[in-house]
Amino acid sequence: MTSQSQSGQSVLTRSRDATIINIDARVNNNNNPVIKYLKPGTYEVQFIDQSQGGMYDAWSRWSFVYECEENGENCTTGWLNEYYITSSEFIVSVPTTGVYATPELARSKAKNTSFTLKFGSEVSFFISDDLLADNQGGVSLLVKRQNIRQPPSLLGNLVLVGLLIASVALTWFILDP
């Protein structure tokens, strides 16, 4: 029996909450995803590499690279940049942009995505492959919450209280002239 892997780590980026999700291609498929509880909001998902704090640059479902064009693209086997994100509210499939000769090339061609949660819930991150033993690498994602609601300011609260008092006074004046 396989236990769930929690390959996420929390970080703080430019005063915004962000989480790095590291999906290990030998462990984290749809049967054993990386699971992270996220609050309601809109999230930007950026494919990152090791130089940006991730553990991985890309992943491969094969143990070798075979038949690539001179530019390192359109390989028969090689490195991929696809991943999946699911919750009770959505399924996001980010397909690979190709099969590449190197993890760095696959990373440079990766697509980013975003999703919105109406309610706080667990979100699953994984690659799609049933035979994990021959896989290499993984996917590192920076998940940043956007639209973070700021608490109301003191001035905003005072304005609301003033409007409430004025409304009650006006209602009292109209009902009891």
Whole-number pLDDT of residue 17: 78
pLDDT score of 139: 97
Structural domain contains residue 172: no
What is the structure's pLDDT at 4?
44
- Residue 172 burial (CB < 10 Å; 0-12/13-18/19+)? exposed
Domain that holds residue 96: 8-152
Q: Domain for residue 159, yes or no?
A: no
pLDDT digits (tens, 9 = 90+) for 146-165: 965 555 556 666 666 666 67
In a domain, 175, yes or no: no
Cα 166 versus chain centre, distance: 46
pLDDT at site 2: 38
Mean pLDDT of 14-42: 90
Residue 148 forms part of a structural domain: yes
Instruction: Please give the pLDDT value at position 162.
Output: 66
Q: Which residue has the higher pLDDT, 172 or 167?
A: 167
Evaluate whether residue 95 is within a structural domain: yes
Q: What is the DSSP letter of 3?
A: P
The mean predicted confidence, pLDDT, of the chain is 85
User: Reduced to 3 states, what is the DSSP secondary structure of residue 175?
Assistant: helix
52-102 tens-digit pLDDT:
999 999 999 999 999 999 999 999 999 999 999 999 999 999 999 999 999
Would you say residue 173 has pLDDT above 90?
no
Q: Which residue has the higher pLDDT, 130 or 147?
A: 130
Q: Domain total for the chain?
A: 1
Q: Is residue 52 domain-resident?
A: yes
pLDDT of residue 29: 97
Q: What is the pLDDT of residue 12?
A: 39
Q: Within 13 A of 86's CA, how many CA atoms are on the CB side?
A: 14
CATH of the domain at 52: 2.60.120
Q: Using CA of residue 69, residue 75, residue 81, residue 86, what is the dihedral sign? A: positive
